[in-house]
Structure 1
Amino acid sequence: MTRTITGEQQAFVDAIRDFVRRECGSRERRLELTDGGARTHSDALYRKMAGLGWLGVGLPEELGGAGGGMVDACLFLEETAYGMAPIGGHGPSRITAGVYQRFGSEAQREAVLKRYCDGAVLSISMSEPGAGSDVGAVTCRAERTADGWRINGQKTWCSNAHFADSILLIARTASGGDKHEGLTMFHVPAGVPGLAIHGIETMGGSEVNDLFFTDVELPADAVVGQVDHAWRQLMGGLNTERLILAAMMLGTARRAFDDTLGYVRQREQFGRPIGSFQALAHRIADLATELECCELLVYSVAAKVDGDPARLLPREASMVKLKVTETAKRVALEGMQMMGGYGYATEYDMERHVRATVVSTIYGGTSEIQREIIAKTYGL
């Protein structure tokens, strides 16, 4: 690939690649780390990365991070995804950590970000049975009490809540007027009384959950940011959220492409490698070109974020999420087609690439929502 990075950043990439090859470079080792693939996250592997300071890349040193910017964070996200490192808790954790960095109190940042950099998994809960793409339809209720807040309601599709250190909850604190007003963020520690977590089985395994809040009591200082202003706070983090998801899928797409390329070079039919047939060779050429475009877009947006972290980039953030996830899905599906039955077999990684990329066009804002946002930035 052709990304332009410094010598120090290249050394960082080389270190990640070497680590991933040694620690989880084989399918057998990855299965060993995840109970045969039943889990998406290896706590042991994750904490080794934390010990190297890698989880804090892109976070300020004064907050417990390792410094650097979004380009550095994207390099880590891309390379660990390419290496298929089983750290499924990292993407949502990095997104959630960014919220605490921007809006948390000094005490919250000190506690939550330090735990994250040390290897704790964080989770964020927005969606509800009746509020998916329409976040303004949230009904999970937070009511003031004499000592703080009482939470009641249901959330769904909450990634990694079943093993998270804490959950960042978006709940309704006021009604009437604009539906996007009256939402507030709350810090919810794991194991708080009244919270029930029920896993949702998916194609990707045990990743997401239903959350049921029944008279959950939170202290007054559990509010993250300002009361009734969660929507504005969420909008302030879209640059990094969508960029994080895109960087991860860039790594997965590159891996699916390389797996496909290796297969079509070696697999022979009709007396020659199948990659020598024009039908497949042209597919490879098209996919390689699309991946090149995705890489340029990811690191262009990351550089813009580093250049002005406070600047909102709704168009660019939606473009990068839309382009990379849709391309990743295409690469994986084309790879499965070119590998034939072997692409569908669970003994190969391609079927995992397909499952990972298909859902990427749904979570973090569907492709349809990204197109709507992009169109609105053009006055449509």
Structure 2
Amino acid sequence: MTDVVDRSDFVQSLREFAKRECGTKEQRDRLSSDGQVTHNQELYDKVVELGWAGCGIPTEYGGGGGSASDVCALVEEMSYGLAPLYGMVITLVSATVVERFGNEDQKRDILGGVTRGDVLATAISEPSSGSDPGSMICRAERDGDNYVINGQKTWISCAHIAKRIQVLCRTDDSGSKHDGITMIDVPAEAEGLTIRPIRTLGGDEVNEVYFDNVTVGADRVIGDPGKAWQQIMRTLNTDRLMCGAMFLGRARRIFDDTVEYVRTREQFGRPIGSFQAIRHRIADLATELECCRLLVRDLAAKLDADPERCEPREASMVKLKVTETAKRMAIEGMQLLGGAGYTKDHDMELHLRESIVSTVYAGTSEIQREIIGKSYGL
């Protein structure tokens, strides 16, 4: 499917913003505390001022409207520009759940907050339930007009900077493991909620979140009680598309940085990119990158045509292909840059640190292959 909408002016504005705000290594190091901070609120505030934080959010809730392709363009270009705005990506995905399943009051409150710069997080994984989230045990008990939450969540992206966390809790054990799960909107400052960072190679990305008799009103349930599994399955496809857009931008940047280096680095009296062994590796990477671009564009265009369309096979293909390609790009880039790629003076070491885990979160590559294979009746 071909996307015929001309968004070239929007893309150009995004590129100019990224170049102005984080176009130099010095700017990026300052904004990211030398590559350890993945979300800079000062930079995000500028995105908010431009109205881009509301990209994809309906105008009646304060957003700027826009299609899946518009949101993908925003995410891709900020990723290409190495803008530390990871919280923006997580927020846009989390906002999709509220837009689809929240009531009007929740949409005005939560989505309106997003357009003003609030960061959202979604808590699904637990120590004993990662790739199998249906086995979660974090529990919310109904107590009159409230729910009381107890348990632990882990690997929660951006919980440490979020204003509110959308928590999946078990509220009923009477059905299958995928029934009786409820999504509850929990303020990050709620009494009894503790957030602890998990130290990672990529910096301050993920957290453990503990709930000790955290009490919130029943009006904070998003969607139907006990039906959160079905809700989250529908929005995981958007999550995987956004992940694809983010790492498409990263893969493009890795490729460009690598090509620039092999064009200018000389050994044996000639640029190293002129050697056939390296030329052919670049050709292979360029071809893989184009495949990723077409996958992302095609799925986004399908969602533009029908936002309710569920494309689990295609979404998993996007997540699998783009993240595996970005990881390969970073490994190849490191090899082709040699020692230079291993130093803090070059972005390649950051590319490697941030790409290597992309095949793990939002559903591992193994899980994506399972989804794709099962879609063929296997």
Local SS of the residue matching 1:48? helix
1:260-298: per-residue Cα shift (whole Å, max 9, x none)? 000000111111111111111100000000101110110
1:20-62: per-residue Cα shift (whole Å, max 9, x none)? 1111111111121233333111111101111111121122111
Question: Is contact 1:336–1:344 with CA below 8 Å preserved after alignment?
Answer: yes
* Residues 1:102 and 2:69 are matched in the alignment: no
How far does residue 356 in structure 1 lie from its aligned partner after superposition?
1.3
> Which residue matches 1:324?
322
| C-alpha spacing 1:190/1:54, structure 2 compared with 1 (3 Å) | same
How far does residue 5 in structure 1 lie from its aligned partner after superposition?
6.0
In the TM superposition, what are the counterparts of 1:172-321 in structure 2 within 5 Å?
172-321=170-319
Counterpart Cα distance in 1 of 2:171 and 2:142: 8
Counterpart Cα distance in 2 of 1:292 and 1:314: 21
Counterpart Cα distance in 1 of 2:180 and 2:100: 19
Counterpart Cα distance in 2 of 1:5 and 1:178: 41
Counterpart Cα distance in 2 of 1:99 and 1:342: 43
How far does residue 7 in structure 1 lie from its aligned partner after superposition?
7.3
Question: Is contact 1:77–1:247 with CA below 8 Å preserved after alignment?
Answer: yes
Counterpart Cα distance in 2 of 1:354 and 1:115: 34
Local SS of the residue matching 2:7? helix
Once the two structures are overlaid, the 10-residue window that deviates more, 56-65 or 217-226, is: 56-65
Gaps of 5+ in 2: none
How far does residue 8 in structure 1 lie from its aligned partner after superposition?
4.7
Q: What code does the residue aligned with 1:151 have?
A: I
Question: Is contact 2:2–2:298 with CA below 8 Å preserved after alignment?
Answer: no
Local SS of the residue matching 2:357? helix
* Residues 1:23 and 2:21 are matched in the alignment: yes
How far does residue 255 in structure 1 lie from its aligned partner after superposition?
0.1
How far does residue 4 in structure 1 lie from its aligned partner after superposition?
6.8
Question: Is contact 1:239–1:305 with CA below 8 Å preserved after alignment?
Answer: no
1:217-242: per-residue Cα shift (whole Å, max 9, x none)? 01010100010001000111122111
Question: Is contact 2:3–2:298 with CA below 8 Å preserved after alignment?
Answer: no
> Which residue matches 1:39?
37
Local SS of the residue matching 1:201? coil
How far does residue 63 in structure 1 lie from its aligned partner after superposition?
2.1
How far does residue 73 in structure 1 lie from its aligned partner after superposition?
0.7
* Residues 1:377 and 2:366 are matched in the alignment: no
Counterpart Cα distance in 2 of 1:238 and 1:43: 26
Local SS of the residue matching 2:226? coil
Local SS of the residue matching 1:170? strand
Q: What code does the residue aligned with 2:362 have?
A: G
Counterpart Cα distance in 2 of 1:5 and 1:263: 33
Local SS of the residue matching 1:206? coil
Q: What code does the residue aligned with 1:148 have?
A: N
How far does residue 366 in structure 1 lie from its aligned partner after superposition?
0.4
Counterpart Cα distance in 1 of 2:229 and 2:146: 21
Q: Considering only aligned residues, what root-mean-square deviation do their CA atoms show, in Å? A: 1.3
How far does residue 6 in structure 1 lie from its aligned partner after superposition?
5.8
Equivalenced residues, count: 378
- Moved beyond 2 Å, runs of 4+: 3-8, 34-38
1:296-345: per-residue Cα shift (whole Å, max 9, x none)? 11010000011111111011111111111111111111011111111111
Counterpart Cα distance in 2 of 1:67 and 1:215: 38
Question: Is contact 1:168–1:185 with CA below 8 Å preserved after alignment?
Answer: yes
> Which residue matches 2:73?
75
Question: Is contact 1:322–1:371 with CA below 8 Å preserved after alignment?
Answer: yes
Local SS of the residue matching 2:198? strand
In the TM superposition, what are the counterparts of 1:130-209 in structure 2 within 5 Å?
130-209=128-207
| C-alpha spacing 1:32/1:143, structure 2 compared with 1 (3 Å) | same
Local SS of the residue matching 2:325? helix
1:142-188: per-residue Cα shift (whole Å, max 9, x none)? 00102310000010000111111110000100114310111000000
> Which residue matches 2:63?
65
Local SS of the residue matching 2:362? coil
> Which residue matches 1:117?
115
Counterpart Cα distance in 1 of 2:199 and 2:237: 30
TM-score by length of 2: 0.98
Gaps of 5+ in 1: none
Q: What code does the residue aligned with 2:110 have?
A: V
Counterpart Cα distance in 2 of 1:186 and 1:104: 10
> Which residue matches 2:7?
9
| C-alpha spacing 1:308/1:7, structure 2 compared with 1 (3 Å) | closer
One of 86, 89, 94 as aligned partner of 2:87: 89
TM-score by length of 1: 0.97
Q: What code does the residue aligned with 1:265 have?
A: R
> Which residue matches 1:355?
353
Identity percentage over the alignment?
Answer: 55
Counterpart Cα distance in 1 of 2:375 and 2:112: 37
